[in-house]
Chain A
Amino acid sequence: DTGVSQNPRHKITKRGQNVTFRCDPISEHNRLYWYRQTLGQGPEFLTYFQNEAQLEKSRLLSDRFSAERPKGSFSTLEIQRTEQGDSAMYLCASSSLSPGTKDTQYFGPGTRLTVL
């Protein structure tokens, strides 16, 4: 099994620009999650998909954020009109619905976003 992969690993952008991140989950994992981690804090849940359906979104996910998983495989997270407060590590995780796994989530390396 290859693990969860995320691209790019680092992104520096100017305030007001749009950015898009990609996550490729572990193959055949039904669920895909996005979290955000700011410096010195634990990750915070943003949203998750089961196959292609987006089932839950956090209040942290403002209108400027949108996530998609069009074919139930990879996912993209887009941030429009970035603000300096969006600077964070964006983590993706995936899990299987197989019995006994209890949604054990496996994380990718993250994408570190810096908004200047």
Chain B
Amino acid sequence: AQSVTQLDSQVPVFEEAPVELRCNYSSSVSVYLFWYVQYPNQGLQLLLKYLSGSTLVESINGFEAEFNKSQTSFHLRKPSVHISDTAEYFCAVIVGAQKLVFGQGTRLTINP
């Protein structure tokens, strides 16, 4: 069965510093990969997705993720974070069947 591992449960960084949130998946077939963001007491918002084509995908608020098939990874990066980026970030995969399989989440905390 496919699975998703988010290697860091919490990532504290200072404002304007770069950040990388790591995500690895297990699958032997083609995958579709997603990053969702969840602010406190809210639902999930789609941040970005890889379906096909370019392995580097970007969001409108400066995040990017790169699909690396050989390393089965889909790490999320941002070159300079803002206080408003404080949230929980979830990596997820769809393989074959329609349901999303999520990682455990990474709590990103931005310190001033």
User: Are the C-beta atoms of B42 and A45 separated by less than 8 Å?
Assistant: no
What residues of chain B lie closer than 8 Å to A110, measured between beta carbons?
Answer: 42-43
Shortest C-beta distance, B56 to chain A (Å), equals 18
Contact with B along A52-95 (1 / 0, CB 8 A): 00011000000000000000000000000000000000010101
Q: Is the CB of A48 within 8 A of B44?
A: no
Chain A: minimal CB distance from B34 (Å) = 8
A43 in complex: contacting residue of B41, B44, B94, CB < 8 Å: B44
Q: Hey, what's the 0/1 contact readout for A19-47 against B, CB within 8 Å counting as 1?
A: 00000000000010101000011111100
A104 at the interface (CB under 8 A from B): yes
A42 touches B98 (CB 8 A): no
User: Do the beta carbons of A102 and B32 come within 8 Å of each other?
Assistant: yes
Q: Are B43 and A45 in contact, with the CB atoms below 8 A?
A: no
- Residue of B whose beta carbon sits closest to that of A47: B99
| Size range of the chain A interface in the assembly | 20 to 34
B11 interfacial contact with A, CB 8 Å: no
Contact B104 A109 (CB under 8 A): no
Given contacts A102-B94, A106-B46, contact A42 B99 (CB under 8 A): no
Known: A91-B44, A107-B44, A110-B43. A31 touches B98 (CB 8 A): yes
In the complex, the chain A residue whose C-beta lies closest to that of B100 is: A105
Bound Cα distance A105, B36 (Å): 10
List 10 tightest A-B contacts by C-beta distance, closest first: A42-B102, A45-B99, A107-B44, A107-B43, A109-B43, A102-B51, A110-B43, A102-B32, A42-B105, A108-B43
